[in-house]
Structure formats: structure tokens, C-alpha cells
Structure 1
Amino acid sequence: MGIVTDQSPATLQTAEAGLVMSDIEVFADRLTSYLEPEQINLVRRAYYYAEQAHDGQTRRSGEPYVTHPLAVANILADMHMDYQSLMAAMLHDVIEDTGIPKNALEKQFGATVAELVDGVSKLTQMDFETKAEAQAENFQKMALAMAKDIRVILVKLADRLHNMRTLGALRPDKRRRIAKETLEIYAPIAHRLGMHTLSTDFEDLGFKAMHPMRSTMIDRAVRSARGNRKELLNKILDALQELLDRHGLPGKVMGREKHLYGIYQKMRGKRKAFNEIMDVYAFRIIVDSPDTCYRVLGAVHSLYKPFPGRFKDYIAIPKANGYQSLHTTLFGLHGVPIEIQIRTEEMEETANSGIAAHWLYKSKDDVINGHHARTRKWLKGVLEMQERAGNSLEFIENVKIDLFPDEVYIFTPKGRIMELAKGSTPVDFAYAVHTDIGNSCIACRVNRRLAPLSEPLQSGQTVEIITAPGARPNPAWLTFVTTGKARSNIRHFLKHQRHAESVALGERLLDKVLAGFETCLADITEQRINAVLAEYGLNLMEDLLADIGLGNRMAYVVARRLLLNDSQHDQAMADDSAQPDSEEEPALAIKGTEGMVVSFARCCNPIPGDPIIGLTSVGRGLEIHQENCRELSLRKIHPDSALHLTWDKDVSGEFTVELQVELEQQRGIIAQLAASTNMADASIDKISVDERDGRVSVVQLVVRVRDRLHLSQLIKRLRALNGVMRITRLKN
């Protein structure tokens, strides 16, 4: 490619200006195949500007620094990238390394190129050596830059590829760090953008830097295996080419090499021996049109028997990154498996270069082709996840899920195809259709039959989501959803719901304490509220109330602060531990609808009618126990964290109770127990049976009731059953 990096450092250091000039001219000559002369002149001008800006700077290997931007531009030229991308490649280190400001570049080369250079510079300044959160923050920057102008990430990927090719000059620990980062982030992004060649290069170079010995051993084994099977491979290749000629089908057949990192991953992930992986012979057939692809498929199936269930049509339903091809696996000569991919020249180009294939950058007003539209859609989803993520670590976790899954293809009831990650559930599907559909989802039908929301979906299924107004996401969904969009939206909803509930509870707790001082929150002056907020380092009263509701601050301490004037402040600091007797405190009424910030202890399962007490714990809100709960005596409870509670007269909801039923063994008795529970308008959550001896069984029933009266009616009905000997409500 005429890149100076192929020469030795000694030669480079003594090279005259003319030698470097010739390299830019060789590069400019390459561009004549697809760029206009005036565009090539702009690229040349950007090179000279970079050469002057980097004058006197060298790379760690001793090369003049300008060889790096030129090499990056060469990589982009291989992808036929537009002239602005090539200019940005030439200038991508100018802002960071030479102190030339963005506005200077804007004056010289225009706003678009300056924005591209600025975007790449911000990504180049990433410091992945710090903790995970810093890496996540930087990944977030990358996602935002990609959404603004996808060319930013393409220049950055080319920059990273050249750096990976020249890792030899770095310390081993730095090589491994950069390689790990490349394998975890840059290779998946290249894959997600459909850039297979770039992704493969990243993986093999990263593998070599991370595990040099393993890479060398696999490379040696591949070369050996290639020689041993050359004769059989040529026979299959000749048979396939002869088949195409016989049927008058235009196309060329080529062997397909497996790359080293792919072999390593299969050996580790599928626990396969090297020989098992290399026993599969892979070929690619390139034809002139999609119609010919299907005709070739029929022809090869007539030559060799296909493996059942191993055919995939990515032409009719492309992958999310735009990849199109027919895949089939056949029983070949001597029964050896043959993998064949059939695609057009255009599909081959797209498979290798992805979004960069035949690049023509389009503005928002232009018609965008299918591949660009898919990428824009994905980037829009990334932005949505970024907005909803609580922090950068959560964001990177969600995005990594989508980089890059195997897909399943699901149909909506109207026949629209949705692409989802392998293992996706109806909840993932609901969020893929629309966030509001996911949030209000209550059930689903898969192929017109009711199915669990947690059931993994299979390609070809038709899924219908059943929604209900007022429904909301269940925290349990987080245990089975697989897509980043579903996970981020569920967390976002629950977080905001929890915040609203904690604010409401905090206000009730604070008002309860203030009522003991014969005042209320509405009577506190705004000046005093602002003073207390400043003392706690908070901006809004809502944040203070949320802290109280979550148990992060004691309502009594906050009330004392609010009721004091500044002269009493110091005295209050000493007296905060003093709290009014619980007899003087008005009890907080529990309604049962407080949400996630109020929980009912599983140790004693309190229900309306039981005497109750509340415990506040940091970050978890209020936990309700029965007053005589044995757990309270076992814990070391701080007096300030215990609250006097009562049940609201309009308490609503169902509450869990555990019953132990001793009964004589007889046929059908368990069914009678279940039927009687149902007739008492109670529901069974769990039932288990233990035999005490040959005559008596002990049944543990976990049931849901409204209150103590409802419980007594249930127990009365169960005692009336023939064979029931004793019923005990279990506590602790």
C-alpha cells in the first residue's frame, strides 16, 4: 500500500522529504479509482497539514509520526471511504498531540472535518487503565459519537487497527491491556457494523497479543492440517465448480479459511478438539444475483445430502448488521461435513466491509439504504439505553449484551419480522415493539397459545403481547430478559417507581414525627427548608424525602433540624439521640399500597389485624414485622430505627401467611384442601407434604389472605374437612 511503516526505523530516520512525498503520491494515486480530483487534493492538503503539525514527533518504534495517520487513511481507502473521512484520518491526532485547536481546523478544512477530528480525538483520549467505571464512561462517549456521525467510529476503528498492527514497540503489559480492550469493545463494534474483515483482524491480532503461545500453536496446527487435507479439499472444490458449469450457473467457488481466534473460541466454548473443528470443510460460492443463489443451493443439495436443520436463509431475513447469505451444511465425500455459504458479489462486499461497503455518506435528507437504516436504528436504540441507564456501568452492561448476539426472528400478529437476541423472551419482544408495550405487558400468546412470559422464543414463532392499563414491570423480569433494551427499560421504570414511592413514604414518616411536635411540613418556612437542604448537601426537598423513605436518614432527626432556628443548631447536634417516647408518637398507618419501599418480613408474615412494628434499613426502606417476632430479639435493633405502626382502616391487597396442617392420610385429601382454600376466596402460593409416620402427613401451605378475619374464615373451613387434625399458623 506504499505505507512507510514497512521500512526499518533506521531508514525512516534518515529518509529525505522526497521519500515521504512519494508515499502520499502513491496514496493519492490509489484514490483516483473512486474520488474526484478536487477531493483528492483536499486529502493531500490534509496530509501536508498533519505532516507539518507532527514535525519532529516520532512513534515509539522510531518512525516519523505522520506515517501513522497515513496508514490509517490507507485502511479507510481500502473501504472506499469518502474524502472527509480520509481527511479526518490524516488529522485525527492533531488536536490532541500538537495543541492546534478545533476552530483552526474548522477554518482550514470546514466544520464537518473538524467535528470528525474532534470526535475521534475525544475517543483517543480514553484511559482504559483506570477502574471499570472510567472504561464505561469512555464507552458511553463512543456510543454518543457514533450516533452523531458514524464516520467517527470508522476512523477510530482504522486507527485502532493500525495500532494493533504495530503493538510490538510497547511493553508486554500494555500490549495485553490494549488487546483485551480491542477484543472486548472494538471487535464487537466492528462485528455489529457488519465489518467482518476488520472484526477478524482485531480478533486475531488481539489473540496474538493476549496469548502469543496459544496463537502460535494453533497457527502451526492450521498450517499442518491445511497440507494434510489439500487433496480432499481440491476434489470437493473441483466437484462444486464442475456442478455450476454443468448447470450453466455463473459463479466462482473458493475455500474458506477459519481464523485463529474463531478456532480458539470454538475449542474453549464448545469444548471441541482441534481435529473436530478442522474436520469441517468450508467453501464460499459467489454468484451474480439473489435468484442464482437459490438455484445454486438446489444444485449443491442434489450433489451432496444436506444436514437436516442446518440451512439458514439470511438473504430473505438479513442479520441485524445487514449480513446476507445462504448457509447450508452437507455430507460430502467420505461423509465429511461441508459448510457452504452462497452469496452475491455485493453481499460479499457488505459481509466484509459492512457499513463501509461502497461508502457514500448520506445526509439525513437523503434516502438511506437498508444497511445504513439498520445501523441508524441500532444507534437510536443505543442512545435510548444511554438515556435510561442509571450509570455508565449499567449502560455498558446493556450495550455489551447487544454486541453481538445470535438472532432469532419473530413475527408480530400482522406479519412484521422482529430481530431479537438468541434466548429472548416475550418480554424482550414486547420492549422491542415499543417501550410502553413492555411496561404494560401482562401475558402473551405464542403461535396463538398462551405461554409464560419467561419462555425463550424460537425463530418463526408469532408472538402477541397482551397488555393492561395500569400494569407495570415486574422486578422478577430482570432474571430472564436478555436484550439490553428490555433490561434498561425495566430498571429505569422500577428506579423511578421506587423513587416516587420512597418520596411518598418519606413525606408520611416526616409528617408523622412533625405531628408529634404539633406541626406539619406545610408549616415549615421555605427559608428553613433550604437551610436544612444545604446542610445535607441536597438540592430538592424531594431528595430529602426520598432519603427518609429509603431509610438513609431518620425522620426524627430531619424533623428536629427543620424545627430549629440557627441559634439552636449546635444544641440540637448534641440532642439528636433523644427521641420522644413511642407512646407520644402518632402511629404510622400502613395501607398495603406503598409499593417497593415497604416490605413485609418473611420471618413472621404480618397481616392486617396483627400488632406490627416497622424497621428502617439503609437503602431498603421500611420492613414490617409482627410486634412479637422472634427475629427482632435476635437482631441488635437501634431504637431510632424502630417505628410504631398501625393498619389503615382501608388497607388493601393480599398478604402471605404460612399454615401447617396435620391430617390423616387418605385419598384425595390434598385436593380437598386446595378446593376448600379456593372456596374461601384465598389463593395458594406454595404447598408441600411431608409424611410424619404411616398415618399422619404434615402439609405446609403458603396462602394469600386479606386480613386476620379472612384467615380465621379459611382456617374454620379447613378444620371442617374430614381428616384434618390440627392447623397452626407458622411464625418465625
Structure 2
Amino acid sequence: MRGIEAFADRLSNYLGPDQVNLVRRAYFYAEQAHDGQRRRSGEPYVTHPLAVANILADMHMDHQSLMAAMLHDVIEDTGIAKEALIAQFGETVAELVDGVSKLTQMDFQTKAEAQAENFQKMAMAMARDIRVILVKLADRLHNMRTLEVLSGEKRRRIAKETLEIYAPIANRLGMHNMRVEFEDLGFKAMYPMRSERIRQAVRGARGNRKEIVAKIEESITHCLEREGLQGSVMGREKHLYSIYQKMRGKRRFNEIMDVYAFRIVVDKVDTCYRVLGAVHSLYKPLPGRFKDYIAIPKANGYQSLHTTLFGMHGVPIEIQIRTQEMEEMANNGIAAHWLYKSGENEAPKATHVRARQWVKGVLEMQQRAGNSLEFIESVKIDLFPDEVYVFTPKGSIMELPKGSTAVDFAYAVHTDVGNSCIACRINRRLAPLSQPLESGSTVEIVTAPGARPNPAWLNFIVTGKARTHIRHALKQQRRSESINLGERLLNKVLAGFDTELAKIPQERIDHVLTEYSQPVIEDLLEDIGLGNRMAYLVARRLLAREDESATNDESPLAIRGTEGLVLSYARCCTPIPGDPIVGHLSAGKGMVVHLESCRNIAEIRHNPEKCVQLSWAKEVNGEFNVELRIELESQRGLIAVLATHVNAADANIEKISMDERDGRTAVVQLVVSVRDRIHLAHVIRKLRKLTGIIKITRAKA
């Protein structure tokens, strides 16, 4: 009883009496609901919700969040329905409690998929009301503080999950204090020995440093007084987990501890820059180490001026300069200026807008992701932002994770810009799409209508948003191409029975779809196009013919060269337009085109279920690779001469390698891209004119 009264006294400092009474009511309701339940430590269960509410009260959270904190385990642990909470405390509080309950049902001992599934639920709940995640973070923080009562195995599992997901979320929402505590508690539970060793080393180092810290603090304070500037100077402690991370990055403990860190908190933004000038005149600044996060805040809303100075005796001094409001913001992030406390007409703070944008982006990724594991992979990348700041051509600032490329930038601007991107200019110069961006660059994206994402982009992009959208676009592209090819294959077989898909009655199609457990005809056609089902067998089912064979329709399927992802050309025999060809249906890959004479398909060549007669369409688009084997006399500058002649024949060299047989002759393997057989003949004629050519043959399997 004393606990809730002391808590109510604390709340009366910033909440009205009616609101305090509502929180009190929620406490008594929870106490009754959890009656008889105890925590592992033996205390009555209700001490946990009260502790969670206390953590939120430290951040001056609104009364609805505090009520949800009191009630957050009621739905899950006591069998009280959500409807009962709506009747007692209203829709908003019940929704918050329901959101937190769904997150609490995370059973992480199952596979990674279960963890990912639950993380998806978290994204959904956050999108509805971001307070859900704040209550969940406070709940997790109290659980981490009381972790020692659990078994070692469970402790490590919870600590790992905290370090991987909850600490980064707290960081993403700008909640520095909570993130530091999560990391230190998680570190202690995961690696108790390492944590203790570093703690002792820090304690030892701190004793030796006391004198220097006091001197530096004194000289900075005097400097501010001389300049007539108001500001409080305080030393900054490095937390254990960050020291551990830096040591894992191959830095020595002494090297990390030799940096002295201070924070100067002032009254207004103008003073921040004046203080910066004052400390730069006191000690020399290190070039390239100044960062202005006030003009360009971090992605989580953090604002401060950072500079590194050469102090007395050459010791490096890191200084952060910020206002009191920025200090609050840095420590409590999104909870510092709670949206629900601001007046009706007050615009939401920039941090809030950023947090909402991030949550919106997470939700968008969740809708686009193929499965929950793909989603969590994308979000984890987004949870560890080490940003670069780049400019759009119109001067807007975009924040992206370190290592981002122009493709990441394009998707950050808009999905359609990313999907139709073909090139980029960095600082007005054409640059490769894979080039990592540097802070301060101006990036311009060149787009083209009808352009499509390139699968190769997945090898170098960094952001979750780009990865999710590229995968989604490729899936859609592959699906539409598979459906198209499947329809052509099916119609080719049906033509042998003197009919086509359009003429088959709908009830017959529905019957076959039911038989194959496919909801729509497109799914069946996609399966045929991907080589998972045989067009011949599907055609017979559609016509309800078991024994009859198709009439001898030998008209081959025409290949246009623009079929895309579901049609590929065999590397063993590299067919080009004009060659006699055959198609091999490979499950999951679609159709692979081989030369008729290719040895690799000799055994299945006449099997109608595995191979399809193909021909080239009149109009074939695209470039096709073909390998040439050239025997010639050795001479200087040989490769340059070959390249010049291939280029003169309007062809490209894709790959070149050379073997010397003896001192006099050499064999060159040359992969060139050509349009068709006529173009290839033209290339070979050009090469034959060279002096010293002995023999040119086309390499085949």
C-alpha cells in the first residue's frame, strides 16, 4: 500500500489529481487481478507492474501509459478479457495493454521464425500507438534488473535478445539512458567474467585519472567564466559495454581510457556555438573531428556539438556541447517531449516526427517482406544506424546508414525512384551505383521509364527498405514472366489438340485448379513457367483425356530474347539467335535454352515432358554470349589487337584468357557478346584477317 501512495505523490508533481486517481485505480485493479501470484523472487507479482510504471514516471509519461504499465500482464496472466478492460478504463488503455500483451507472448525458445513473427507483431503495435513500445521497453528494463533469479540458460537467452533487439530500439528512439542500462545489464548477464574484469579495470583507471579530470574541468569552467558564458561542465563516464565493443574492434583498454570526455550543458543554441569557439581557443581542435549534430540531427533526433581537442600534455579531450532540452532529449529520446503532453496547438517535435517515420518505414517493410525472417533481417540493419548525411539536388538532407550506396538513396527518396533507377551522379559526376556514399555529397538519381531493379543490387545495398523493395519487385517481375511463359507453353501443347486456353470452359478450368490445389489460373501458369508442372500433363487434365496423345504439332515455341528471369541460356553450349535450339524445363528455374547438339541434354532430348521444341522469333532482342577458341602465333600486344578488331565488328569482349602452348603459338579463349549468328560470322571474318591466325572455332560442350 505504501508503494502506491509514494508513487501517487511522485505523479502529483506533473499530473492532475484526476489522472493520478485513474493510475491509482489501475494499480488496485491489477493488485486484485494478480492476487496470490508471486514473482520468482518471492515478492507479490504486483510489485513488477508498479516498478514498470515507476520507470515510465521517471520519463514523465502520460497517465494512460502508466495505467497500461500497471495492467500490462492482466490480459495474459489472469484471464481477464480485453473487453473488461475497455469497460473499466476505456478503449485507449485497453489497446495499449493488448499491444504489450501480444509482445509479451514471445516464446523465443522456438525457432528464429517465432522471434521474427513476434517482432512483426511489435512493428504493428508500434505503428498503432508508439507508447506500446515504451511500456514494453520499461517492462523489459525491470526484468533485466531482476534477472539474477532466473537459470543461467534463460538469463543468457533474455540478455542476447535484449542486446540484439531492445537496446537498438531504445537507441533508435533516442533513449540513451535506457540503451546504456540495457547494454550493461545484458553484457553482465551474457559475459559475467568479462564484465567484471572491465569494471575492475575501469575502477583502477578512474583513480589514476581523478587529478587530470579535475584540472581539465577547472580550466574549461574558468574559460567559460572569462568569456561570460553560462554553462555547467561535467565529466562523462564510458559505459562497460561500449568499452568492450571498442576492445573487440582491436583497440587496447589504455587507448580507450586515455580519452577524457566532458559534457557542457548551456541555456540556448546560440550559446552552444559560442562555447565551441571558447574551448577551441583554450585547446587546439583535432582536424576532421568536429561534428555539428545541432544543424543536422542524428536519425533518432539526437542533437549536440561534438569536438575533440588536444589538452594539456597532449591528452585527447572529447567534448559535447548542448542545451538542457537537448540533454533531456539525448537521455530520454522520444519520451522527453511526450506528444500527449503538448498543447492542442503545439506542433509535434521533430524527434516525434522522425520516430513515427521510422515506425512507418518498418511497417512498410513488414508488408513487403516475403516472410518474417526476411523482415527481421531488414529491420536489424536499420536498428544499428551509423549515419552518413547526403543532400538531394534541391538541398534536402537524407540520413542513411554508413556504407549506403546511390541505390539505397534512391529507395529512401521513393520506391518508384529506386525501381526505375539506371544511373547516378555524385557531386555532379557520373558514378557507379555501387559506390558507398560519403557525408556531404550531393546525390542525383537518373531514372528511365520501364527500368527494373537489377538482382545484382542485392550484393551491395545496405538499407532494409531497399532490400525489401528490390526483392518484392523481382518476385513480381519473375511471377509475371513465369505466368507469361507458362501460358505460352500450355497453349503450345493445347494447339496439338486443336484448341487453346481461351476456348476451354471455365468449369473445367476450376475443376483442374481444385485438383491441383491452386486458387487461381495464374498460380497454375506460374508453376508451368517455373518448370514445377508439365504443360503436357496439365493440358491433358484440362481436356480430361487420359490416353490420347496430342496430334503431331511440331510448331516450335518462338523465343524473343526478352523473357527475362524465367528463361536462361545454358552456359555449357551458349546458344545464340540462328542456332537450332531446344528448351529444358528445370524445376524452379523455368526454361534453360540449349543447342540441339548439346551433349548435356542428349539423354532427355526426345522426352516431351522435359524438353520443348524451340525456335527463334523473327525479331530477337538482346546480346548473347558466345565463346571462341583462337589458335594463333604469339606476338606482342596480342590481346590489344584482338580487342580492337572485336570492337570494330561492333561486339563486346566479356572475358578473355590466354595460354601459351610453346614459344611460338598461343590459344586465346574469348567470350564475346553478339546479336545473332550473322553478327558472330562478321566478328570471325574480322578476326581471320589478322596476321598469324591459325584457327578459330566456336567452343561447344
User: Percent same amino acid among aligned pairs?
Assistant: 73
Find the partner of 1:147 among 127, 146, 151. Answer: 127
Q: Within 2, Cα distance between the matches of 1:203 and 1:187?
A: 6
Q: Within 2, Cα distance between the matches of 1:251 and 1:448?
A: 43
Q: How big is the shift at 1:630?
A: 3.1
Q: Give 1:425-444 correspondences, 5 Å limit.
A: 425-444=405-424
Q: Within 2, Cα distance between the matches of 1:635 and 1:200?
A: 64
**Match for residue 396 of structure 2?**
416
The CA RMSD measured in Å over matched residues stands at 2.0
Q: Deviations over 1:368-398 (max 9, x none)?
A: 2111111111111111111111111111111
Find the partner of 1:632 among 601, 610, 613. Answer: 601
Question: What code does the residue aligned with 2:99 have?
Answer: G
Q: Within 2, Cα distance between the matches of 1:625 and 1:57?
A: 71
Q: Within 1, Cα distance between the matches of 2:413 and 2:142?
A: 40
Q: Give 1:131-530 correspondences, 5 Å limit.
A: 131-268=111-248, 270-361=249-340, 367-530=347-510
TM-score, length of structure 2 as denominator length? 0.96
Question: What code does the residue aligned with 2:191 have?
Answer: H
* Structure 2, unaligned runs of 5 or more: none
* Structure 1, unaligned runs of 5 or more: 1-20, 566-571
**Match for residue 650 of structure 1?**
619
Find the partner of 1:699 among 668, 675, 693. Answer: 668
TM-score, length of structure 1 as denominator length? 0.92
Q: How big is the shift at 1:40?
A: 0.8
Find the partner of 1:674 among 639, 643, 648. Answer: 643
Q: Within 2, Cα distance between the matches of 1:521 and 1:309?
A: 68
Residue 639 of structure 2 corresponds to residue 659 of structure 1:
no
Q: Give 1:23-172 correspondences, 5 Å limit.
A: 23-172=3-152
Q: Compared with structure 1, are the counterparts of its residues 366 and 111 closer, same or farther at alpha carbon in structure 2 (3 Å cutoff)? A: farther
Q: Within 2, Cα distance between the matches of 1:286 and 1:181?
A: 34
Q: Within 1, Cα distance between the matches of 2:122 and 2:666?
A: 63
Q: How big is the shift at 1:364?
A: 11
Q: Within 2, Cα distance between the matches of 1:161 and 1:466?
A: 47
Q: How big is the shift at 1:689?
A: 3.9
Q: Within 2, Cα distance between the matches of 1:364 and 1:160?
A: 32
Q: Secondary structure at the match of 1:606?
A: coil
Question: What code does the residue aligned with 2:467 have?
Answer: R
Question: What code does the residue aligned with 2:408 have?
Answer: D
Q: Within 1, Cα distance between the matches of 2:494 and 2:157?
A: 57
Q: Deviations over 1:402-433 (max 9, x none)?
A: 00221111111111111111101111111111
Q: Deviations over 1:144-199 (max 9, x none)?
A: 11111000000000001001111112111111111111111111111000001111
Contact persistence 2:52–2:139 (CA under 8 A): yes
Q: Within 2, Cα distance between the matches of 1:92 and 1:377?
A: 26
Q: Within 2, Cα distance between the matches of 1:339 and 1:159?
A: 34
Contact persistence 1:127–1:135 (CA under 8 A): yes
Q: Secondary structure at the match of 1:640?
A: coil
Q: How big is the shift at 1:350?
A: 0.5
Q: How big is the shift at 1:508?
A: 1.0
**Match for residue 18 of structure 1?**
none
Contact persistence 1:443–1:467 (CA under 8 A): yes
Q: Deviations over 1:493-543 (max 9, x none)?
A: 000000000011111111112222222212322222112211221111110
Q: Within 2, Cα distance between the matches of 1:696 and 1:238?
A: 81
Q: Deviations over 1:540-581 (max 9, x none)?
A: 11101101111111212212222217xxxxxx5xx7xx9779
Q: Deviations over 1:86-110 (max 9, x none)?
A: 0110111111111111111111111
Q: Within 1, Cα distance between the matches of 2:603 and 2:150?
A: 59
Contact persistence 1:556–1:579 (CA under 8 A): no
Q: How big is the shift at 1:688?
A: 3.4
Q: Secondary structure at the match of 2:653?
A: strand
Contact persistence 1:81–1:360 (CA under 8 A): no
Q: Secondary structure at the match of 1:402?
A: helix
Contact persistence 2:57–2:66 (CA under 8 A): yes
Contact persistence 1:516–1:586 (CA under 8 A): no
Q: Within 2, Cα distance between the matches of 1:595 and 1:330?
A: 57
Q: Within 1, Cα distance between the matches of 2:460 and 2:206?
A: 43
Question: What code does the residue aligned with 1:615 have?
Answer: H
Q: Within 1, Cα distance between the matches of 2:549 and 2:265?
A: 82
Contact persistence 1:604–1:625 (CA under 8 A): yes
Contact persistence 1:237–1:255 (CA under 8 A): yes
Contact persistence 2:530–2:587 (CA under 8 A): yes
Q: How big is the shift at 1:725?
A: 3.1
Find the partner of 1:590 among 559, 573, 581. Answer: 559
Q: Within 2, Cα distance between the matches of 1:146 and 1:283?
A: 35
Q: Secondary structure at the match of 1:38?
A: helix
Q: Compared with structure 1, are the counterparts of its residues 88 and 701 closer, same or farther at alpha carbon in structure 2 (3 Å cutoff)? A: same
Q: Within 2, Cα distance between the matches of 1:365 and 1:617?
A: 63
Q: How big is the shift at 1:43?
A: 0.7
Contact persistence 2:604–2:610 (CA under 8 A): no
Residue 523 of structure 2 corresponds to residue 554 of structure 1:
no
Q: How big is the shift at 1:639?
A: 6.7
Q: Compared with structure 1, are the counterparts of its residues 520 and 635 closer, same or farther at alpha carbon in structure 2 (3 Å cutoff)? A: closer
Structure 1 stretch displaced more, 239-248 or 258-267: 239-248
Q: Secondary structure at the match of 2:446?
A: strand
Q: Deviations over 1:674-710 (max 9, x none)?
A: 2332232222223334444444443332211111111
Q: How big is the shift at 1:724?
A: 3.1
Q: Within 2, Cα distance between the matches of 1:624 and 1:438?
A: 31
**Match for residue 4 of structure 1?**
none
Find the partner of 1:599 among 554, 563, 568. Answer: 568
Q: Compared with structure 1, are the counterparts of its residues 480 and 634 closer, same or farther at alpha carbon in structure 2 (3 Å cutoff)? A: farther
Q: Give 1:561-576 correspondences, 5 Å limit.
A: 561-564=541-544, 572=546
Q: Within 2, Cα distance between the matches of 1:283 and 1:723?
A: 75
Q: Within 2, Cα distance between the matches of 1:402 and 1:254?
A: 32
Q: Within 1, Cα distance between the matches of 2:432 and 2:477?
A: 25
Structure 1 stretch displaced more, 72-81 or 301-310: 301-310
Q: How big is the shift at 1:480?
A: 0.4
Question: What code does the residue aligned with 1:235 have?
Answer: K
